[in-house]
Amino acid sequence: MKTVNKIAVITSGGDAPGMNACIRSVVRTAINEGLTIFGISGGYKGLVEGELIPLSRRSVSNIIQKGGTFLKTSRSESFYHKSGRRRAADTLKEWDIDGTIVIGGDGSFHGAHAISVEFGVKVIGIPATIDNDIYGTDITIGYDTAIGTALDLIDKIRDTAASHDRLFIVEVMGRQSGFIALEVGICGGAEEILVPETKVTMEDLGKMVKTWSRAGKTSSLVVVAEGDELGNAHSIAQAMKEKYNIDSHVCVLGHTQRGGSPTATDRLLASRLGYYAVIALKDGKSDIMVGWQNNSITYIPLLETWEKKKPLDAELMKIYRILST
Ligand code: F6P
């Protein structure tokens, strides 16, 4: 087994609060282990273009509390092609890098797995996405902060909805998954939660809205994940007006959910996973993700992290229906 001396760290895909805390953990653990550590600037695009910067303990001072990623991130078009990935692998070879830690979501893991299989690059993934939709870890870096942010905004919407006796449709992030919608929906007391994992028709929704007013509710809240099959908040509101003459107001929380200072939970998770990722690389592991399940560290093949689907909590789906009526 080749000794690991020089490693690199990259943030890729959509940013998530806690990425900075994770970079800090990777950098300081690496230095503690006697390794030289480089940061790749600008995600996979930076890797393709050779944007590497040496990092020291002081390079990561005063970032643990900051949202975003100081290394910057991107969704790189060139990385979707083998030629781009070859250039990335060449960059790592030129800089004599023995292993790379990729902090990101499933798109980033696809890329990491590809350069590992195609060019023998040693990679370890750390799950960081506000969507929480990665198999093999109970929670991803950024999720806890994002649901806190979304809930704070939903509480504010509730105040105005109640004052005006209005129905609000609130759209949260989640292109393919409803983790954010389900948890902020239940915590925010939503009457209905629309997620890509379950099918609700416009007819169902129309009927439900009418039962809420019959049950004496004067204001109500529907939380919808942006990727729901019924549509986004605007199209749902339009369809409800056209089909059932139901008036509603729309609020799209959008990218506010991606920013902000990470919560203690996210900083703790980021610190833990960063540490274990470096140790895994030093131990010769590759093409795996370090995750956190049942309060302990897990090592999952990268391929499994998207080939297996992390399910929504079925119990929670049942509970919210009982509580919301
Ligand atoms: O992957 C996280 C995520 O926040 C998704 O929920 C959302 O659809 C997407 O990123 C939007 O990302 P961007 O605007 O950066 O393309």
Distance in Å, CA 289 to ligand 1 centroid: 21
Q: Could you tell me which CATH class the domain 6-142+262-307 is placed in?
A: alpha beta
Atom of ligand 1 nearest to the CA of 105: 1
pLDDT, residue 80, reads: 93
6-142+262-307 and 145-258 share one CATH topology?
Answer: yes
Q: Is 165 a catalytic residue?
A: no
Per-residue pLDDT tens listing for the chain (325 residues)? 678 999 999 999 999 999 999 999 999 999 999 999 999 999 999 999 999 999 999 999 999 999 999 999 998 888 999 999 999 999 999 999 999 999 999 999 999 999 999 999 999 999 999 999 999 999 999 999 999 999 999 999 999 999 999 999 999 999 999 999 999 999 999 999 999 999 999 999 999 999 998 999 999 999 999 999 999 999 999 999 999 999 999 999 999 999 999 999 999 999 999 999 999 999 999 999 999 999 999 999 999 999 999 999 999 999 998 999 8
Is the C-beta atom of 174 inside 6 A of ligand 1? yes
CA dist 9 → 16, 26, 28, 112 (Å)? 15, 8, 12, 12
Please give the Cα distance from 125 to 73 (Å, whole number): 15
Fold category of 145-258 in CATH:
Rossmann fold (3.40.50)
Query: Nearest Cα to 261, choosing from 54, 19, 28?
Result: 19
**Which pair of tokens denotes residue 143?**
């999720």
Determine the residue of 103, 175, 224, 257 to mutate for testing ligand 1's pocket, defined as the one with the most ligand atoms within 8 A of the Cβ atom. Answer: 175
Q: Give the ranges where 19-142 is alpha helix by DSSP (H).
A: 19-32, 43-48, 82-94, 106-119
Q: Classify the phi-psi angles of 64: left when phi > 0, otherwise alpha if psi is within -120 to 50, otherwise beta.
A: alpha
Determine the residue of 76, 129, 173 to mutate for testing ligand 1's pocket, defined as the one with the most ligand atoms within 8 A of the Cβ atom. Answer: 173
Please give the Cα distance from 325 to 316 (Å, whole number): 15
Give nearest CA residue, ligand 1 atom 3: 14
Catalytic entry in 15, 131, 228, 266: 131
Strand partners, 101: 9, 124
Strand partners, 167: 220
Let me know: does 8 contact 39? Beta carbons within 8 Å.
yes
The domain limits of the chain are 6-142+262-307, 145-258
**10 phi and psi, to 5 degrees?**
-140, 145
Amino acid identity of residue 146, one-letter, is A
Is the C-beta atom of 132 inside 6 A of ligand 1? no
pTM of the model: 0.97
